[in-house]
A and B are shown apart, each in its own frame.
Chain A
Amino acid sequence: MAGWASRGDDGHVEKRTGSPPQWRTAGQQDGGRLPWPADGDVPRPEGWPDQRQLGRHDIGRRVRRLCTGGPPQRGREERLVGGVAAGLAARTGFDVTAVRTVFVVACLVGGFGAAAYVVAWLLMPADGEAGSIGGRALTDRRGIALAAGLSSLLVVVLVIGWAVGAGWISRFAWSLVVTVAGLVLIWRNADPDEQVMMRRLAGPVLGQSVGYRRSRLVWRVPVALLLLIGGLVMLLYQHQHGQPLDLLGSVLLLIAAVVVMLGPWWLRIARDLVMERQARVRAEERADMAARVHDSVLQTLALIQLRAGEPQRVIQLARAQERELRSWLFDGRAPGSLGGQDMTVAAGVRLIQQEVEAQHGVAVEAVTVGDCDLDDNLSALLAAAREATVNAVKWSGADVVSLFAEVEPAQVSVFVRDRGRGFDPGAVPDDRKGLTESVRARMARRGGAATVRSVLGEGTEVSLTMPRVAGERQPSRT
Chain B
Amino acid sequence: MSASGHPVSAGGRPRVFIVDDHGLFRSGVRSELADHVQVVGEADDVQPAIAGIAESVPDVVLLDVHLPGGGGQMVVSAVKATLPQVRFLALSASDAPEDVIAVIRAGARGYVTKTISSIDLVDAVRRVAAGDAVFSPLLAGFVLDAFAAFPQADSGRPSFDPELDQLTAREREVLRLIARGYTYKEIARELSISIKTVETHVSSVLRKLQLSTRHQLTRWAAERRLT
Contacts and interface: CB of A to CB of B under 8 A. Distances in A.
Interface of A: 346, 363, 365, 367-370, 399-400, 402, 404, 406, 408-409, 415, 417, 419, 461, 475-478
Interface stretch (B21-29, B84-92, B149-157): B149-157
A368, A408, A475 interface centre (most CB from chain B within 10 Å): A368
30 contacts: A346-B227, A363-B115, A365-B138, A367-B179, A368-B141, A368-B145, A369-B144, A369-B145, A369-B179, A370-B148, A370-B149, A399-B117, A402-B137, A402-B179, A404-B137, A406-B144, A406-B176, A408-B149, A417-B180, A417-B182, A475-B153, A476-B148, A477-B145, A477-B148, A477-B153, A477-B219, A478-B148, A478-B155, A478-B216, A478-B219
Contacts of A400: 115, 181
B149 A367 contact: no
A91 to B, nearest CB: 46
A400 B223 CA distance: 28
A419 B219 contact: no
Given A370-B148, A406-B176, A365 B181 contact: yes
A478 B148 CA distance: 9
Interface of B: 113, 115, 117, 137-138, 140-141, 144-145, 148-150, 153-155, 176, 179-182, 216, 219-220, 223, 227
Given A365-B138, A367-B138, A408-B149, A415 B180 contact: yes
B99 to A, nearest CB: 16
A81 B181 CA distance: 61
Nearest to B113: A365
Nearest to B223: A477
Q: Which 4 A-B pairs have the closest CB atoms?
A: A402-B181, A367-B141, A476-B150, A478-B153
Contacts of B227: 346
Contacts of B137: 365, 367, 402, 404
A406 B175 CA distance: 12
Contacts of B117: 399
Nearest to B117: A399
B148, B153, B180 interface centre (most CB from chain A within 10 Å): B180
A478 B154 contact: yes
A367 B140 contact: yes
B5 to A, nearest CB: 18
B181 A419 contact: yes
B145 A370 contact: yes
A408 B148 CA distance: 10
Nearest to A417: B181
Nearest to A414: B180
A231 B113 CA distance: 93
Q: Majority SS of interface residues in chain A? A: strand
Nearest to A350: B227
Nearest to A368: B141
A151 B203 CA distance: 94
Contacts of B149: 370, 408-409, 476
A476 to B, nearest CB: 4
B145 A404 contact: no
A368 B117 CA distance: 22
Contacts of B154: 478
Contacts of B153: 475-478
Contacts of A367: 137-138, 140-141, 179
Nearest to B182: A417
B84 to A, nearest CB: 31
A404 B178 CA distance: 10
A406 B150 CA distance: 14
Contacts of B176: 404, 406
A419 B180 CA distance: 11
B152 to A, nearest CB: 9
A374 to B, nearest CB: 15
Contacts of B220: 477-478
A409 B219 CA distance: 21
B216 A461 contact: no
Given A346-B227, A476-B150, A476-B153, A404 B141 contact: yes
Nearest to A419: B181
A402, A408, A477 interface centre (most CB from chain B within 10 Å): A477
Contacts of A419: 181
Nearest to B220: A477
A363, A365, A370 interface centre (most CB from chain B within 10 Å): A365
Nearest to B144: A369
B32 to A, nearest CB: 15
A365 B117 CA distance: 13
B134 to A, nearest CB: 15
Contacts of A406: 144, 176, 179
A157 to B, nearest CB: 83
Given A478-B155, A478-B216, A402 B180 contact: yes
Contacts of B144: 369, 406
A404 B148 contact: no
Contacts of B181: 365, 400, 402, 404, 415, 417, 419
A299 to B, nearest CB: 23
A346, A419, A461, A478 interface centre (most CB from chain B within 10 Å): A478
